[in-house]
Amino acid sequence: MSETGFEGIAVDALDEAGAAAELARLAALIHRANTAYHTEDAPEISDAAYDAAKARNAAIEARFPGLKRADSPSDVVGAATAEGFGKVTHAVRMLSLANAFDANELADFDAGVRNFLGLEKAAPLAYTGEPKIDGLSLSLRYENGVLVQAATRGDGEVGENVTANARTIAEIPQEIAGAPALLEVRGEVYMGHEDFAALNARQAAEGGKTFANPRNAAAGSLRQLDATITARRPLKFFAYAWGALSEPLAETQSEAIARLHAFGFTTNPLTRRCESLEEMRAHYAEIEAQRATLPYDIDGVVFKVDDLALQARLGFRSTTPRWAIAHKFPAEKAWTCLEGIDIQVGRTGALSPVARLRPVTVGGVVVSNATLHNEDYIAGRDSKGEPIRGGKDIRIGDWVEVYRAGDVIPKVADVDLSKRPEGSEPYRFPETCPDCGSEAVREAGDSVRRCTGGLICPAQAVEKLKHFVSRGAFDIEGLGAKQIEMFYADEVLPIREPAEIFTLQVRDAATVSKLANRDGWGETSARKLFAAIEERRRIELRRLIFALGIRHVGEVVAGDLARHYGSWAAFSHAVDLAGPAGQRHLAAEAAVREEREAAAADGRRARVSETEAAAWAAEPAVPAEAKAAWDELVGIDGIGAAAATALVAAFHQPAERASIDRLAGALEVIDAARPATEGSPVAGKTLVFTGTLEKMTRAEAKARAEALGAKVAGSVSAKTDLLIAGPGAGSKAKKAAELGVETIDEDGWLALIGEG
Ligand code: IVH
C-alpha cells in the first residue's frame, strides 16, 4: 500500500480502459463523499482517503485528458448551497487547494512552479508554510473598514450569506482601521478541541444532536438559520487569505498576513517563511510533530509562493491556484468485517461493487461502506492480470483494512487472511445487470463490466436523469436525485428521459392526479418546480452539452466544445458531419490493436502508422467533409479521440439521437459567450506556440493566451490564426508559411499583448 493509501494499479501502468474504469469509480466515490461532507455534514470517509482519491483522479486525467468524465470531480470545488440562506456570488472565486501527499509530490510542486516561471532549480524562491486548518472557509467583506457581509465557500462561485452568524464570532472584527476601502478577508472558521468536547457534552445532556468531529460541529454551528444558536457555539477564526481588494495589501504573502494581523485578525502563529525545499520539509515535520498537542484539528501544511507578483503570474487552474499546495498528513486506517457486496449500476452501465462494512470509526468518522472498484480488484489483480495486495482476493466475511483521511469515499486497503472464515468462497461478480437483468459484458481491455441494457435499463436511465439535473448541468431547483427517482417510478406523470421534464407541467394540467395532491407535494412546491423547470428552458450551450451525459464529455470538455462551436446548431451539425470519420477512427483503432497483438505474437515490431493509414484509405471512402469535421473536432484543445468518438457514437445511435432531438426541440439554447476579454487582441483566435520562448515559459504563454480569450492549439492547420515562433521553430513554421498563417516572434507576441 502506497503512502497515499492507494494500493490500486499505479497510474503509469493503467491502460485506457483501466483508466476510464478508475475515473468512473473515483467520480462516484468523490461525489458521494462530497455530499456526505458538505451537504449532510456527516463525512463517511477520511480526508486522507478523499484527498488520495482526488489526487489519483487528477493524475489519471492528466495522463488521459480525453477520458475526463462529464462528472469529473476535479471540476467541482465543494457542494451546492443548502436552501435557507441567501446566496452570495463571490467577487473573486473561492478556490480549493491541490494536494501533495509526500515529500516527492511537494518537490514536484516546487519544480512545477519553477518550470512555469522559468526559474532554475537553484534560483531563490520563497514560500510561506502554515497549518491547514480543518474547518470551513469563510469570506468576510469589509467596506470602508466595516464588516458588511460574510459568505461561506459554497461551490466556490456562489456561497451562503451567513453575515448574522459571522457577527457572533468574537475573533471576527466588526470594524477594522487602516484597511483598504474594499477588503475581503478569507480564512477558516473552526472549533477547538476543548470547546468541541464541551459542546458535545452539552448537546448530549440536552438530548440534542452530537457532532462527529470539530469540523462538522463548526459547519453545523455556523450554518444555523437562527444566529442566536451560532452565538452560543464557541467558533474561532484564522485569517490566511483575501479576495477582492481596492488596493494591494502588500508585496508578499508574509507581509499581507502581517497586515491582516495588524487589522486585528488572528493569524496562525505557526506560519513561517521557507527559503528552500529543505526548509519546507522541515517545517512540515515540525508542524506534524506538534499536531497531536495543538488545540485544534489540522490536516496538513499549506505552502504558498511568497512573492505576490509571482503568484499573479502563476495564476489558477480551473479550481486551484498554481502557487499553493496543501501537503497533507497521511490517511488513517482501521480493520473491520466485510458484511456484503452490493453492485451499483452507473449512468454508462458500469457495474460498481460497493463493500458493505460493519461500521467502524476511522479518523473520527463512522465508515459503513467502501468502494471495491471492479471485479479484478476484488479478485486481487489489476487490469493487466498482475497481482495486487499480493494477489489476495476479497471475500464476504473477510476482515478488511479500510482507510479514510478526512473527506470522502473510503477504500479497502488490505485483507487479513488469517481471519478468513472457513469455507468462504471467492466472490462471484454478476454477469447480468442486477437492475434490468440484461447481460453485463466486459469488452476487451475494459476492467469494467457494463450492463448492455442501454436505454431499457432503469438504473442507467435514472442515473442519466440524475446527471441531467445535477449542478453543472440543468441544475433545476427542487428536482434532485430523490425527486428524479420518484418521477421515474411515477405511473401518471413519469419522467423517463430529459425531454419529459419539459412536458411535466402540461401533462400535469391534463391529468386529474395532480402533482400538488401527491404525498410530500403541495400547490406551492408544485408551482415552484414548474417555475424552476421553465427557468431552465433557456439553457447555456455548455450546460446542455454536459447534461447529455456522454462518456468523456465532462464540464470542461463541454465548455471547450461550446466555446468552439458557439451554437447548438453548429455543434450538432459538426458532430453529425463527423460521424462517418468517427466510425473510421474506431475501425482504425481496432485494426491497430489487432496489429499490435499480432506483432507481439510474432515477436516483430507493430506497423502502426501503415495499419492506420490503410484503415483510413479503405472503401467506402470517408467523405472529405466528414474527415474535415472530425479533424476539427479532435483538433480542439482539450478534446481527445475518446470524447470525440463517444459524441459521434451517441449522435448516431438512433434511439439516443431521437431522445436528444426531443430535448433540444423543447429548449432555447443560449449561444456560448466569448470569454470576457473585451479589447483583447487575441480573443477568439487560435494560436500555436512553437520553438523556444525566452521571456515566458510555454506553460505561462499558454495560460496568458487563454486568459485573453484565445484558443491554443498544438498543431498548425488552416484554422490557425497566428503562429508564435521562437528560435528553433521547425516544421510548424514551415507549415504556417505554406498555409499563409501569420507568424510573429516572441517580442511580437509580447507587444501584441501589451507587455513588449
Ligand atoms: S489558502 C486559493 N490556507 O483548505 C487558496 N486554505 O483545501 C485559498 N484551508 O478552501 C486557500 N487552512 O478552506 C488556505 N492555511 C490555509 C488553510 C486553508 C485551511 C482550507 C480552505 C480551503 C481548503 C482547500
> How confident is the model over 445-482, as pLDDT tens digits?
788 999 998 888 999 999 999 999 998 899 999 999 99
Top pLDDT among 152 and 364 is at: 152
Secondary structure (3-state) at 127? strand
Mean pLDDT within 380-391: 88
Q: Does 1 have pLDDT greater than 50?
A: no
The CA dihedral of 322, 328, 330, 332, to the nearest 10 degrees, is -120
State which ligand 1 atom lies nearest to the alpha carbon of 96.
24
Residue scoring higher pLDDT (674 or 440): 440
Examine the pLDDT at 439 and tell me if it is beyond 80: yes
82: pLDDT strictly greater than 70: no
Q: pLDDT band at 311, cuts 50/70/90?
A: very high
Predicted pLDDT at 76? 59
pLDDT mean over 156-176: 92
Which residues of the chain are in CATH 3.30.470.30 domains? 87-318
241 lines ligand 1 (CB under 6 A): yes
- Judge if the beta carbon of residue 326 lies within 6 A of ligand 1: yes
CA of 45 to the centre of ligand 1 (A): 20
Whether 137 is in the pocket of ligand 1, judged by its Cβ within 6 Å, is yes
Whether residue 128 has its Cβ less than 6 Å from ligand 1 = no
Report whether pLDDT(36) > 80: no
Residue 635's pLDDT band (boundaries 50, 70, 90)?
confident
Quote the pLDDT of residue 44: 77
Distance CA 99, CA 153 (A): 18
Cα 290 to middle of ligand 1, angstroms:
19
CB 352 within 8 A of CB 28: yes
Report the alpha-carbon distance of residue 375 to residue 17 in Å, rounded.
Answer: 14
For residue 205, the SS3 value is helix
Residue 436 is which amino acid?
Answer: C
Distance, C-alpha 27 to centroid of its chain: 8
CA torsion 202-33-281-136 (nearest 10°) is -50
Strands 440-441 and 399-404 come out as unpaired
- Cα 46 to ligand 1 centre (Å): 17
How much distance in Å is there from the Cα of 19 to the middle of ligand 1?
A: 29
> Once rounded to an integer, what is the mean pLDDT over residues 714-720?
86
Q: Specify the pLDDT at position 287.
A: 96
Task: Identify the helix (H) or strand (E) that includes residue 311.
Answer: helix 308-314
Cβ atoms of 301 and 376 within 8 Å: the answer is no
Indicate the length of the chain as a whole number. 756
Q: Per-residue confidence at 184, pLDDT binned at 50, 70, 90?
A: very high
Ligand 1 atom closest to Cα of residue 136: 13
Instruction: From 94, 97, 305, give the residue whose CB has the most ligand 1 atoms within 8 Å, as the site to mutate.
Output: 97
Average pLDDT over residues 643-656: 92
pLDDT score, position 276: 95
Q: Is 686 in the pocket of ligand 1 (CB under 6 A)?
A: no
Q: What average pLDDT does the segment 499-507 reach?
A: 97
- Assign residue 746 a region: left if phi > 0, alpha if psi is -120 to 50, beta otherwise? alpha
Banded model confidence at residue 578, pLDDT cuts 50, 70, 90? very high
Query: Does residue 40 carry a pLDDT above 90?
Result: no
88: left (phi over 0), alpha (psi -120 to 50) or beta: beta
Q: Is the CB of 324 under 6 A from ligand 1?
A: yes
Which contiguous run of DSSP H or E holds residue 196? helix 193-205
pLDDT for 2 equals 35
Q: Report the separation in Å between the CA atom of 270 and the middle of ligand 1, taken as the mean of its atom positions.
A: 15
Confidence of residue 6 (pLDDT cuts 50, 70, 90): low
Average pLDDT of span 53-73: 84
Burial class of residue 491 (count of CB atoms within 10 Å of its CB; 0-12, 13-18, 19+): exposed
pLDDT at 41 over 80: no
Single out the residue of 135, 10, 55, 48 nearest to residue 334, CA to CA: 48
What local confidence, expressed as pLDDT, does residue 5 receive?
38
pLDDT for the residue 696:
83
**Which residue, 532, 553, 526, is CA-closest to 541?**
553
Q: Is-contact 408 32, C-beta < 8 A? A: yes
Q: Which residues contact 504 (CB under 8 A, 6 or more apart)?
A: 487, 493, 495, 515, 529, 530, 533
Of the listed ranges 34-38, 377-381, 400-404, 545-549, the one predicted with least confidence: 34-38
Task: Answer yes or no: are the C-beta atoms of 638 and 65 closer than 8 Å.
Answer: yes
Q: Which of 137, 297, 303, 322 to mutate to test the pocket of ligand 1 (most atoms within 8 A of CB)?
A: 137
Q: Please name the residues in contact with 481: beta carbons below 8 A apart, sequence gap of 6 or more.
A: 466, 469
- Superfamily (CATH H level) for 686-752: BRCT domain (3.40.50.10190)
Distance CA 341, CA 396 (A): 7
Helix (H, G, I), strand (E, B) or coil at 335: strand
Q: Which atom of ligand 1 is nearest to the CA of 304?
A: 1
CA distance 751 to 647: 40
Q: How confident is the model at residue 79 (pLDDT cuts 50, 70, 90)?
A: very low
Residue entry with cell 456562489: 158
Annotation: CATH topology of 87-318: D-amino Acid Aminotransferase; Chain A, domain 1 (3.30.470)
130 CB within 6 A, ligand 1: yes
Cα–Cα distances (Å) from 489 to 167, 351, 457, 492, in that order, read 46, 21, 13, 9
Domain(s) labelled CATH 3.40.50.10190 in the chain stretch across: 686-752
Residue 249 pLDDT greater than 70, yes or no: yes
Average the pLDDT over 230-236 and give the result: 91
Q: CB 181: neighbour CB atoms within 10 A? A: 11
Residues annotated catalytic, as ranges: 132
Contacts (Cβ under 8 Å, ≥6 apart) of 386: 9, 13
What whole-number percentage of the chain has pLDDT above 90?
65
> For residues 140-150, b (16+ Cβ closer than 10 Å) or e, as one string?
bbbeebebebb
The pTM score is: 0.61
Show Cβ contacts of residue 689 under 8 Å, excluding neighbours closer than 6 positions.
698, 701, 702, 705, 712, 723, 724, 726
Average pLDDT, the chain: 90
